[in-house]
Amino acid sequence: MSEQPSERDFSLADLCVVACAEAWRGDGEILASPIGLVPSLGAKLARATFAPDLLLTDGVARLVNAAGVVEGWLPYRAVFDVVWSGRRHVMMGATQIDRFGNQNIASIGEFAKPRAQLLGPRGAPGNTINHATSYFVPQHSAKVFVERVDYVCGLGYDRAAKLGAGGRFHRIARVVTNLAVLDFETADRAMRIASLHPGVTVEDVAAKTGFALHVPPSVPTTRAPTVEELRIIRALDPDGRAQKELS
Binding footprint of other proteins on the chain (CB under 8 A): 60-62, 73, 75-77, 80, 83-84, 106-107, 111-126, 128-130, 151-155, 159-160, 162-163, 165-167, 169
Q: Are strands 171-177 and 132-137 parallel, antiparallel or unpaired?
A: parallel
Cβ atoms 64, 70 nearer than 8 A? yes
Whichever of 24 and 151 has its CB closer to other proteins, that residue is 151
User: For residue 89, what is the enclosing H or E element?
Assistant: strand 88-92
Whichever of 7 and 80 has its CB closer to other proteins, that residue is 80
Shortest approach of other proteins to residue 82 CB, angstroms? 11
Angle at 120 between CA 161 and CA 73, to 5 degrees: 85
In terms of Cα–Cα distance, which of 83, 219, 218 is closest to 154? Answer: 83
Whichever of 118 and 202 has its CB closer to other proteins, that residue is 118
Count the Cβ atoms, other than its own, within 10 Å of residue 45.
26
What letter represents residue 241's amino acid?
R
Contact partners, residue 144, CB within 8 Å, separation at least 6: 94, 95, 96, 97, 137
Shortest approach of other proteins to residue 242 CB, angstroms? 18
Whichever of 121 and 225 has its CB closer to other proteins, that residue is 121
Separation CA 54–CA 33 (nearest Å): 10
Whichever of 122 and 223 has its CB closer to other proteins, that residue is 122
Shortest approach of other proteins to residue 182 CB, angstroms? 21
Whichever of 145 and 151 has its CB closer to other proteins, that residue is 151
Shortest approach of other proteins to residue 198 CB, angstroms? 31
Cβ atoms 245, 13 nearer than 8 A? yes
Shortest approach of other proteins to residue 205 CB, angstroms? 27
CA 195 to chain centre: 14
Shortest approach of other proteins to residue 181 CB, angstroms? 25
Separation CA 140–CA 25 (nearest Å): 24
Strands (E), 6-52: 31-34
Whichever of 105 and 200 has its CB closer to other proteins, that residue is 105
Shortest approach of other proteins to residue 52 CB, angstroms? 25
